[in-house]
Structure 1
Amino acid sequence: MIKKGTSKAAAMKEETTAAQENLSLPAFTKQQFLESQLFTAQQKDLLNALLQDEETYTTDEVKQQIEQYLKKAVE
């Protein structure tokens, strides 16, 4: 998304830099997160439901998914 007052080239450079930073972060499988001591048992239950078996995720992505799920409005 292009911010107001930002040139298209600057916005593209910003997106590219963000993507490159994301590539340099270590990514882990669902199973690795479930076996880690980084999350509580309750959080691991959520991860088991939220994450896909074949995908890899950074720790930040997983923490963000947990937060988004917990903030989701109850219907």
Structure 2
Amino acid sequence: MEISARNSIKGTVKKIVHGSVNTEIILEVASGVELVSIITKSSAENLGLVEGKQAYAVIKSSDVMLAVE
């Protein structure tokens, strides 16, 4: 896999929630550490995503915001 984004994090698909148009994918990247992505349902199907499959979270963003209380 070659990609221009600098941040790609390997993980395991932990849970998939299908909607009528979009699918929510929960990717466990370390024990107790999860990333959540919402992609189109057809993209999830084309990628063959199933629970337990290895996948990469690819993060490309010019802004990352933080907040505290």
Q: Same fold (TM over 0.5)?
A: no
* Bigger Cα Rg: 1
Q: If each structure's strand is expressed as a fraction of its own residues, which one has the higher value?
A: 2
| Bigger relative CO (Cα 8 Å, ≥ 6 apart) | 2
Q: How high is the TM-score relative to the length of structure 2? A: 0.28
Q: If each structure's helix is expressed as a fraction of its own residues, which one has the higher value?
A: 1
